[in-house]
Structure 1
Amino acid sequence: MPPGPHRWNHNIHYHRLVLDAVPAHARTALDVGTGNGLLAAELARRVPDVTGIDVDAPVLDSARREDGSVRWVHGDVRTHPFPPASFDVVASIATLHHLPEPEQAFARLAELTAPGGVLVVVGLARSTTPADAVFVLAGTVQHAVLSRRYGFWEHSAPAVWPPPHSYREVRAGAVAALPGCRWRHLPLWRYAVVWNAPRV
């Protein structure tokens, strides 16, 4: 059964990727672009202190109904005055394509990640190469199979389509901002970046 009561979509599908990266010592987590709050609510089952931030006030009302233990913040992660290095886990799903510059976005999220913590980004990008097209085909098949099995739950967060940056551009931004990060191109029109912040 996918996360949440009878809910599945492309973003929920990759919650497990984020949850599997949570270090055992994690005590604080930030969900960037929390939307309806599903990922933040799942993180709260593993991490004692979870914050979800989003620029969209109405969608945060939906998030608050998911979990009362999460601290919900209406704001922009680029400018909100979070202390540097204050989260053991910084996670973001389907948010970075809303921001203008991938490298700057990755750098900001890295700034918020505590030493020894982890940054996990699952995002959307634009297909521009033949290799990208292979993942588009795989995603189309996977979507058909899984949406038939689980149904497709439509979130209420604002959407941006098509994504403004290509996979190549996003990967270049990640590599520049996050030395040693791990990049994966995923089906269902997604990529993943995982970066472990160096210990001091």
Structure 2
Amino acid sequence: MGDVELAEILRRQGITDERVLEAIRRLDRAEFVPEARRAEARQDSALPIGHGQTISQPYVVAFMTQVLNPQPGERVLEIGTGSGYQTAVLSGLCGEVFTVEVLPELAGPARERLGRLGFQNIRYRVGDGTAGWPEEAPFDAIIGTAAPEHLPPALYQQLRPGGRLVLPVGPRHGAQELIRVTRPLGGGAPQVEKLLGVRFVPMTSAPPPPFVH
């Protein structure tokens, strides 16, 4: 069962991209939250998923996806797999998702969950999200679901010319902003747009060595 009511809530809140709304509608958010929180899954709020992490508020997921504007056939890098909800939304909108999670305790269950739900165009990595996935670069679009204090240079360098990057930036404790960064086709300085005040868990580096499935 998908989240038809949730999609309609998001439409009323100003999400206008029909592809994004349909991606939300096709998913059951309850699949991506702990058993004890499933009754709250259709609320427009962030929820804890364990290990100090959260599943983002549905409006924020939809807004970030809308401003990222993933297109069919594109290769998208996601930093912060978490429960896999944002990954699943992206999967239905682009050609291939490359998702990196710093915590093996989240990465394994997310991979199992997304596989069980039938998602096939996703590749998984456990490792330092600030380093991106250089072996697979460049990417058409990059999205971050945790907040570094500043834009990690490696992520920008892995963006193709004309590509766009959406992520929250700011201190661990204090005001964070969601930004969209576009890499100009002809070179030059990054184009940075400030979009929304947000609050995300911090983006951290990984002590375990990265590995690819």
Give the TM-score normalised by the residue count of structure 2: 0.55
**Equivalences for residues 34-49 of structure 1 within 5 A:** 34-49=81-96
Distance in 1 (alpha carbons) for counterparts of 2:65 and 2:132 = 24
Which residue, out of 114, 119, 137, partners 1:67?
A: 114
CA contact (8 A) 1:37 1:64 kept: yes
| TM-score scaled by length of structure 1 | 0.58
Q: Which runs of 5+ in 1 are unaligned?
A: 127-160, 191-200
Partner of 2:157: 111
Higher RCO (CA < 8 A, seq sep 6+) = 1
Query: Cα distance 1:189–1:95, how it changes in 2: closer, same or farther (>3 A)?
Result: closer
1:9 is aligned to 2:45:
yes
Kindly, what percent of the aligned residue pairs are identical? 20
Q: Distance in 2 between matches of 1:93 and 1:44?
A: 15
Residue 82 of structure 1 and its aligned partner are, at CA, apart by 1.6
- The residue aligned with 2:77 is 30
TM superposition shift of 1:29: 0.6
> What residue number does 1:180 align with?
191
- Correspondence 1:1-200 to 2 at 5 A: 1=6, 3=24, 4-5=29-30, 6-7=41-42, 8-10=44-46, 11-12=56-57, 13-20=59-66, 21-24=68-71, 27-68=74-115, 69=120, 70-79=122-131, 82-83=134-135, 85-97=137-149, 102-103=150-151, 105=152, 107-123=153-169, 125=170, 162=173, 167=176, 179-186=190-197, 189=199
Query: Are residues 77 and 91 of structure 1, via their aligned partners in 2, closer, same or farther at CA, if it must alter by over 3 Å?
Result: same
Which amino acid is the alignment partner of residue 82 of structure 2?
A: G
> Gaps spanning 5+ residues in structure 2: where?
1-5, 8-23, 31-40, 47-55, 182-188, 201-213
Pairs aligned (count): 142
Closer/same/farther in 2, CA of residues 95 and 33 from structure 1, 3 Å limit: farther
Considering fraction of residues, name the structure with more strand: 2
Distance 1:44 1:35, change over 3 A: same
Q: How far has the Cα of 1:44 moved from its partner?
A: 0.4
